[in-house]
A and B are shown apart, each in its own frame.
Chain A
Amino acid sequence: MSIDKSNFKKINAYTWQIPQTFRSDMRVPAIIFASEKMLDDILQDRSIEQLINVTTLPGIRKAALVMPDAHEGYGFPIGGVAATSFPNGAISPGGIGYDINCGVKLLKSDLEASSLNHHQGLLARRLYEEIPSGVGHGGRLTLIEKRLDEVLVKGAAWIVDNGYGEKEDIHFIESEGCLDNADPQAVSDHAKKRGKDQLGTLGAGNHFVEVDVIDEIFDETIASTFGLSLNQVVVLIHTGSRGLGHQVATDYIRIMNQSMTKYGINVPDRELACAPLSSPEGTAYFNAMAASANFAFANRELIAWEVRKVFKEMFGERLSTLYDVAHNIAKIEEHVINEKKRSRKKVIVHRKGATRAFGPNSPELIDEYSLTGQPVLIPGSMGTASYVLAGTTEAMELSFGSCCHGAGRTLSRHAAKAQISGKKLKIDLEEQGIFIQAGSISDLAEEAPLAYKNIHDVVDVVDKVGIAKKVARLRPAVVVKG
């Protein structure tokens, strides 16, 4: 089915709707947050068709949404958000993705930008040495099954309990770094074998550890509450649940593809395979996903320990956590579904390449962020910028408390490599004051800034729509990639 701009109803300059009448199997409308130019770009791939497919999920409420960093994914588009009714609505592993609880942690230092002068090269090398990265590289811990099961149940707290993290961190992690429905028995032996030596490892692709300098503050009051200031050095850690999460997704997409007929479910794309949350398959996936999410929270906490080791050694510096957020996850949350009744209902919120952005006074937020809204961490590409935003009340109304998660790719890895060599990119970035340490310099070009959407445009859209508020911009100084 061909889709063009004539099929969209323009709600405002940054919000577009495809009405439920567009296709007979749609259960709710589809909503796209984007500028008109971005919408033109998004229409170049199958993101919108995928979003329309999402509107067919059993039990979906209000609308299927996609953020301005949208691009084609599997089942759901990247940037997709959908809420289904609790407890009998669908849960779809494709609405979370293969990298369960891929997310971002931000560590704050008391260092100023000038402290990095003449140290960036060494800092890049030391971080690369301490943080295992790349394809198939194991970490500093290899866990027997009993210990791995403990990680799957306890999440980030397991790292702290075993001497690799800081107790204060737990308070500053989404869901305190532990989803309590996690069940190791729902995680396959294959998944455990893939994950047993991967704690504290970065992986490859777009995952990174980045040392940044805050080069612009947009909201002094919120920045102050977050403990952020101009010229401050901070660290971003972007990774997820590694092979363990990939395998859990693979296992359950297969299981659900085989069980859908039992529940009378028919979806237009096999990658949208789903089951009622209340079914044995739906519950098992939800509990295995939570276990994988806990593994990812633990992974980022252990990498934070590795980063802290280097900062202490080089600068005598202690790092504290601003926040740790997931951008590939499903959670049971309460949201207003019926605008007239205004009562909050429990729903299963799927976020795939979308970040929770709860606004002020949300009951789930910790006291420190209850007046500002939660910190929302948006990593950009390695040569541009990343952002710290704050969740808003409007996000609770418009997007199930969600916003974008990054820049979103526009070029294939192959096309990026054809346009610039890794060696030239490294030199160019160093001239801009950005030092890179990567496992493969030739593959570095795959993640070149030219392969991604303009992060500033993406963030401007969510700020203008009102689903997040700009707080601070981060300029990269050191980037470590697998």
Chain B
Amino acid sequence: MKTFTIIPHTADVRLRIEADSLEKLFVSSLKGMNRILNKEYEKYLDKHPILEEVSVTSYDKTSLLIDFLSEILTRSHMHKAIFHTIDHFGIEGNSLHAHLLGAPVDKFTEDIKAVTYHEAEVKKNDKGEYETTIVFDI
């Protein structure tokens, strides 16, 4: 089930994400970012020659999500790759640790400069699901 929606805006791109757990919110956010980076990113799903390890500590859950995506965006730019699979994923308090599997891509379809804190707020909605908006500077 698709748990993110891409919302066009004046000078950027926004993602709206909902998920029934915090971990799934992070995973869906990554999928959304990858879809913006490369519209056809699913075709790389069976390729995963790159393994990266990521550890992030932030001061709250919202910052943890933004800092996590920023870290992966950086590595995507450095390796010219999409990191599509999260392995050994654990969130504890305001820290996380993850192994990422990725594949080099022919090109990015969008130049995401940065993942911003603008409008981001990880919270539980009336349905008891986690949700947030994420704005990408392009």
Is the CB–CB distance between A246 and B114 below 8 Å? yes
Q: Which of A72, A194, A205, A411 contacts B78 (CB 8 A)?
A: A194
Indicate if the CB atoms of A74 and B10 lie closer than 8 Å.
no
List chain A residues, Cβ under 8 A from B135. Answer: 74
Asked if B49 is at the interface of the complex by the 8 Å CB criterion, the answer is: no
Instruction: List chain B positions with a Cβ less than 8 A from chain A.
Output: 8-11, 13, 58-59, 63, 67, 70, 74, 77-78, 80, 107-111, 113-118, 120, 135, 137-138
Interface centre among B70, B74, B109 (most CB of A within 10 A): B74
Pairs of residues from A and B, 6 with the lowest C-beta to C-beta distance, nearest first: A414-B8, A270-B117, A135-B108, A135-B111, A412-B8, A246-B113
Q: In the complex, what distance in Å separates the CA atom of A416 from the CA atom of B74?
A: 29
Given contacts A194-B77, A411-B10, A412-B10, is CB(A136)–CB(B108) below 8 Å? Answer: yes
For B109, what are the chain A residues with a Cβ–Cβ distance below 8 Å?
Answer: 135
Which one of A222-230, A248-256, A318-326 is at the interface?
Answer: A248-256
**Does A257 belong to the interface (CB within 8 Å)?**
yes
Q: How far is the CA of A72 from the CA of B8 in the complex (A)?
A: 14
Instruction: Write the nearest CB–CB distance from A446 to chain B, whole angstroms.
Output: 10
A171 within 8 A of B: no
Chain A 60-103 interface 0/1 with B at a Cβ cutoff of 8 Å (1 = within) = 00000000000111110010000000000000000000110000
Which residue on chain A has the smallest CB distance to residue B11? Answer: A409
Q: Contact: B117 with A413, CB < 8 Å?
A: no
Interchain Cβ contacts under 8 Å between A and B, 7 examples? A98-B114, A254-B67, A257-B63, A270-B63, A411-B10, A412-B8, A412-B11
A135 — which chain B residues lie within 8 A by C-beta?
107-111
Q: How far is the CA of A409 from the CA of B8 in the complex (A)?
A: 13
Most buried by A among B13, B59, B78: B78
Distance to closest chain A CB from B16 (angstroms): 15
A250/B117 contact (C-beta < 8 A), A135-B110, A205-B138, A412-B9 known? no
Task: Evaluate contact between B111 and A204: CB separation under 8 angstroms.
Answer: yes
Known contacts A134-B107, A190-B78: does B10 contact A99 (CB below 8 Å)? no
A235 CA to B116 CA, complexed, in Å: 33
Least Cβ distance of A270 to chain B in Å? 4
Are B63 and A193 touching (Cβ within 8 A)? no
The answer to the question of A258 belonging to the interface, with a C-beta cut-off of 8 Å to chain B, is yes
**A282→B9 CA distance, assembly (Å):** 32
B107 near A193: Cβ-Cβ < 8 Å: no
| Inter-subunit contact B117/A136 (CB<8 Å) | no
Known: A250-B114, A258-B59. 16 other contacts (CB 8 A): A72-B11, A74-B117, A74-B135, A98-B137, A135-B109, A136-B108, A194-B77, A243-B77, A246-B137, A253-B117, A254-B63, A271-B116, A409-B10, A409-B11, A410-B10, A413-B8
In the complex, which residues of chain A have a beta carbon less than 8 angstroms from the beta carbon of B10? 45, 71-72, 409-412
How many residue pairs link A and B with beta carbons under 8 A? The number is: 84
Q: Does A200 contact B (CB under 8 A)?
A: no
A254 touches B77 (CB 8 A): no
Instruction: Considering the complex, give the chain A residue whose CB is closest to the CB of B117.
Output: A270
By a CB distance below 8 angstroms, the chain A residues around B9 are 412
Q: Which residues of B contact A257 (CB under 8 A)?
A: 59, 63, 117
Q: Considering only CB atoms, which chain B residue lies closest to A206 in the complex?
A: B11
User: How far does the Cβ of B35 sit from chain A's closest Cβ, in whole Å?
Assistant: 14
**From A261, which residue of chain B is reached at the shortest CB distance?**
B59
Is the beta-carbon distance between A99 and B117 smaller than 8 angstroms? no
Contact partners of B107 in chain A: CB under 8 A: 134-136
A254 touches B74 (CB 8 A): no
Nearest residue in B to A204 (C-beta to C-beta)?
A: B111
Q: Which residue of A lies closest to B70 (CB)?
A: A250
Specify which chain A residues have a CB less than 8 angstroms from the CB of B59 in the assembled complex.
257-258
Q: Tell me, yes or no, whether A247 is within 8 Å of chain B by CB.
A: yes
Q: Which A residues between 412 and 452 are near B, CB-CB below 8 angstroms?
A: 412-415
Also in contact, A203 and B111, with CB within 8 A (given A45-B10, A257-B63, A414-B8): yes
- In the bound complex, what is the Cα–Cα distance between A108 and B111 (angstroms)? 30
A94 CA to B16 CA, complexed, in Å: 23
Nearest-neighbour CB distance to chain B for A406, whole angstroms, equals: 12
- What is the CA–CA distance of A249 and B114 in the complex, to the nearest angstrom? 9
Cα-based distance from A408 to B126 in the complex (angstroms): 38
C-alpha spacing A453/B108, complex, angstroms: 28
Given known contacts A98-B137, A135-B107, A71 and B114 CB-to-CB distance under 8 angstroms: no
Provide the residues of chain A in CB contact with B58, threshold 8 Å: 254, 258
A355 to B113, CA, bound (A): 21
Q: A45-B10, A258-B59, A409-B10 are in contact. Are A205 and B118 (CB under 8 A)?
A: no
A340 to chain B, nearest CB (A): 39
* CA–CA, A482 and B107, complex, Å: 13
Tell me the residues in window 110-158 of chain A with beta carbons closer than 8 Å to chain B beta carbons. 134-136
A450 to B11, CA, bound (A): 14
Q: How far is the CB of B37 from chain A (nearest CB, A)?
A: 9
Complexed CA–CA distance, A384 and B107 (Å)? 30
Q: Which residues of A contact B77 (CB under 8 A)?
A: 136, 194, 243, 247
For A271, the chain B residues whose CB sits under 8 A away are 116-118
